[in-house]
Amino acid sequence: MHRLRATAHWLAQDNNLLQLFISGTGIAVCAVLVHPRGTSGTGLVVLCLLVLNSLLLTMRLIPEGALSPGPQTALLCFGGVAAAALMSQDHSGAASLFAFYLAGHAGFRLERRRALAVAAVTAVMCAAVRLFPIGSDPGEVPWYLGVLAGTTVLVGISNRLHAESLRSARSAAEQAELAARAEARAEALAERARIARDVHDVLAHSLAGVNMQLEVADALLESGAAAEARQATQRAQSLVRAGLTEVQRTVRDLREDALPLLDTLRSMLGSIPGTGTLTLDGPPHELPVRPAQVIVRCAQEALTNAHKYAPGAPVRLHLAYGPEATTFEVVNSAPPDGSRPLAGAGSGMGLVGMRERVELVGGTVTAGPIVDGDDAGGWQVRVVIPA
């Protein structure tokens, strides 16, 4: 895109230099070849017309848009009259260069209808002065040379279309670059949100468990059960070590962008206190990276919530591979009698982050209490991710 803009700028500068070179060359050729010239009579008329046409030819150097279409059309028509007048006195035919240049310039600067009108007027007048000579001997310049002078309007129109397409391409490139920047910013923000969710999932899962064990140890110390309190402290230490392992795994996942799904789920179940089971439905197969990451992070959040609000309750993970969608469920039973939920330890962002994460892969998530059946009083999280 930067290259296209640089190319367009270079072509604009190069076009200005080309116009200057063409105009200068045409004036020089006519100054050498147009005759008769002199300080009196026909020679003086030719000389004055040559100067006038040379000045009118410099209109090519006026920046585009400096003149409105009306005045520019009138000026070009006057240029056609001046070119025809010079052709009527010139014996060499070189004066036709002014008519050729003028018709081409009209095609480039004016809209098509105006340009064709200017070219037609110029061609008719230049042909007429050769067919019906005025004054002295017109020489051997053919009349159809004046007609041909109007055909360069087609070259001018073609050049105008090319310039407009170049400007359109440049504008499209600028818009595409702005869109690419906006997309890159959106991707960066999405990646930041993803990293924030990963950090939250890992820390919430480990710190909530540590907090629960420390509260248990504190309660046991108050009741004088030092041995049980030591066991709770050891479990807290184990959770810290598991949390460090999860942090390392998260950093590795962020770098490698891959997760072994089943092994990770089994490892998570093995690192939590209580009873946990994992069941499968359908032939297991490797999921794409992003859906696999979503399932693992949802499992982390659901397990954290299960042991936060229903410590000691059995937890079941169920993963179903289907042709149209992959379904993952986390179900915990009602908390056992005498358990103390850590209801005040949550940040309130877990389920929000879970829904955001699932929506990124086009899936849905439902979470809520279980009101009937063997697990009544428990909680269920269900994630469905399309294939």
pLDDT one-digit tens code per residue, 154-178: 998 998 898 888 888 888 888 888 8
End-to-end distance of the chain based on CA atoms, in angstroms? 36
Highest mean pLDDT among 17-21, 140-144, 370-374 belongs to 370-374
Q: Say yes or no to pLDDT of 259 above 70.
A: no
Contact criterion met (CB below 8 Å) for 309 and 211: no
In DSSP terms, 281 is beta-bridged to 320
In DSSP terms, 315 is beta-bridged to 276, 332
For the segment 365-379, the average pLDDT, to the nearest whole number, is 87
Share of the chain above pLDDT 90, in %: 12
- Residue 258: which pLDDT band, with cuts at 50, 70 and 90? low
- Least confident range from 83-87, 107-111, 256-260, 319-323: namely 256-260
Please, what's the b/e burial string for 3-42 (b: 16 or more CB within 10 A of its CB; e: otherwise)?
Answer: ebeeebeeeeeeeeeebeebbeebbeebeeebbbbeeeee
How far is Cα 214 from Cα 230, in angstroms, rounded to an integer?
Answer: 10
Q: What is the pLDDT of residue 343?
A: 46
Higher pLDDT, 95 or 10: 95
Higher pLDDT, 137 or 97: 97
Q: Which two tokens stand for residue 270?
A: 């093995």
For the segment 376-381, the average pLDDT, to the nearest whole number, is 89
SS in 3 state form for the chain? Answer: CHHHHHHHHHHHHHHHHHHHHHHHHHHHHHHHHCCCCCCCHHHHHHHHHHHHHHHHHHHHHCCCCCCCHHHHHHHHHHHHHHHHHHHHHCCCCCCHHHHHHHHHHHHHHCCHHHHHHHHHHHHHHHHHHHHCCCCCCCCCCCCHHHHHHCCHHHHHHHHHHHHHHHHHHHHHHHHHHHHHHHHHHHHHHHHHHHHHHHHHHHHHHHHHHHHHHHHHHHHHHHCCCHHHHHHHHHHHHHHHHHHHHHHHHHHHHHHHCCCCHHHHHHHHHHCCCCCEEEEEECCCCCCCHHHHHHHHHHHHHHHHHHHHHCCCCCEEEEEEECCCEEEEEEEECCCCCCCCCCHHHCCCCHHHHHHHHHHHCCCEEEEEECCCCCCCCCEEEEEEEEC
Q: What is the pLDDT of residue 11?
A: 46
Contact criterion met (CB below 8 Å) for 156 and 104: yes
Q: Say yes or no to pLDDT of 339 above 70.
A: no
Q: Which is nearest to 126 in space by CA: 85, 91, 71, 167?
A: 85
Contact criterion met (CB below 8 Å) for 147 and 126: yes
How do residues 87-107 score in pLDDT, each as one tens digit? Answer: 888 878 888 888 898 898 888
- Least confident range from 84-93, 276-285, 314-323: namely 84-93
Q: Say yes or no to pLDDT of 183 above 50.
A: yes
- Least confident range from 250-264, 311-325, 364-378: namely 250-264
Side-by-side strand order, sheet with 325-332: 276-281, 315-321, 325-332, 379-386, 364-369
Determine if the peptide bond prior to 36 is cis (ω within 30°): yes
Q: Say yes or no to pLDDT of 38 above 50.
A: yes
Q: Say yes or no to pLDDT of 182 above 80.
A: yes
Q: What is the pLDDT of residue 116?
A: 92
How far is Cα 208 from Cα 301, in angstroms, rounded to an integer?
Answer: 11
> Can you list the domains of the chain with their CATH numbers?
2-150 (no CATH), 177-386 (3.30.565.10)
How many CA atoms within 13 Å lie on the side-chain side of 70?
0
State the average pLDDT for the chain. Answer: 80
For the segment 315-338, the average pLDDT, to the nearest whole number, is 89
